[in-house]
Amino acid sequence: MTRRALVLVALAAVVLAGCLGGPGTETTTEPTDGNETATVSSEQIPGVSEGSLANATALAAANEASLSETGGAVRVRQGSASGEASVQLVVGADLATYKLTSSRTAGTEAVDVEIWSNETTRVMRMESNGDYNYRTAERRDDRLAVLQSVEEFLAAGNFTVANESTGDGTVVLTADEFASATEDHGPLAADSSFTGRLVVGESGLIHNLSVAAADDRGAGSYNYELLRTGVDRAAKPDWFDDVPASATLQPQLRVDVENSSYLAVRNDGGDRVPSNTTISVTSNNTTATAVLDASLDAGDTQYVYVDATTGALRVTADRPAAETVDPVTSPISVGITTDDGASLYSGSMAWSSESVSAPASGGSSGSSGGSTSASSGSASGSGSSSSGSA
């Protein structure tokens, strides 16, 4: 049997370079499935068959399609022993525009992310400890993770019809156990109590999904709530004019840990990283920073290490000698930010003492990192992205 702790669902905002579009206006109506007064049979709902939810994928897809067609707003809240997360998503009709506001706390760390996108461009603002970083990039994927994540929780429980619609156009389904006692349940522990309640309309539009689970390691919860439908366009955020010009830069940055001791920061292509850009490294709840004295062109590498004598973070064009380095310890987080507040890279990685190199793929793609060159080590990172949560 597979055991997994209760964890937060991370919403990775992947960004690529692009140009800005025009402003948007937001118009809304109250939540409705377009069938408020009709009685709905559960058999008409996508994915529901013979009184139970038989196909979570079909229902999740129908929910996304229904909300995307007319526009709307949802709020998702999730909690576990590792932290709390919330996200509010406003989607314009036909996904022409959207606005996402995300907040995540884990221990003493708090990260807020806001994203606004029109038909061509995403603009992101990340706030941590009172500092704001920005990113402007081409819109790449309209399938939004906050809507796709619903499927994991729909599939986790044995949802059965609790009552047919009584005139409000929705059907209620409930669950008091996992879908299978022997399968992994995604973000929920396999050996735990489970309760769930689902309110859904005829088209598959989910009005509310609440899930709670607990085991000897702690409790976790997830709540998805439809706030409204009928949004024409998601309004441009009030911080839009604060986005710096360098937020459009698209270097293809990659960060490797070499010899479990220091970092190699490589620009594999794309735009030049300007001089005076700050590199920050966080380990053991301590953050150190260093500034690039020269630009990092495509094909260039700079090495970042902790000076064994002074404890300061240093940047050099040559690999540092072993005796000059105070080795970095796993795990670490790395950020690369221009002097006017544009975030070019943000990632984290972990490795074992046997690892020789722990690469974290990054750059403008925001992709997740892979395994290290030693089988016992691993790394993960996201360049030009920030993890929101739902």
Quick one: pLDDT band at residue 181, thresholds 50, 70, 90?
low
Region 23-28 average pLDDT: 41
pLDDT at 8 over 80: no
Element containing residue 302 per DSSP (H, E): strand 301-306
**Does residue 304 sit in the same domain as residue 191?**
no
- What's the confidence (pLDDT) of residue 10? 36
Beta-ladder partners of 30: none
**Does residue 197 sit in the same domain as residue 299?**
no
**Does residue 182 sit in the same domain as residue 46?**
yes
What are the angstrom distances between the C-alpha of 247 and each of 135, 164, 214?
Answer: 5, 51, 42
Whole-angstrom Cα Rg for the chain: 23
Domain count for the chain: 2
271-284 confidence digits (pLDDT tens): 899 999 999 999 88
Domain end among 229, 264, 298: 229
Give dist(CA 124, CA 60) in Å, integer: 26
Residue 155 belongs to a domain with what CATH number?
2.50.20
Is the pTM of the predicted complex or chain greater than 0.75? no
Range of the domain at 62: 18-229
Residue 260 belongs to a domain with what CATH number?
2.60.40
Domain contains 198: yes
pLDDT at 370 over 90: no
274-327 confidence digits (pLDDT tens): 999 999 999 887 889 999 999 999 999 999 999 999 999 999 999 999 999 999
**Does residue 206 sit in the same domain as residue 275?**
no
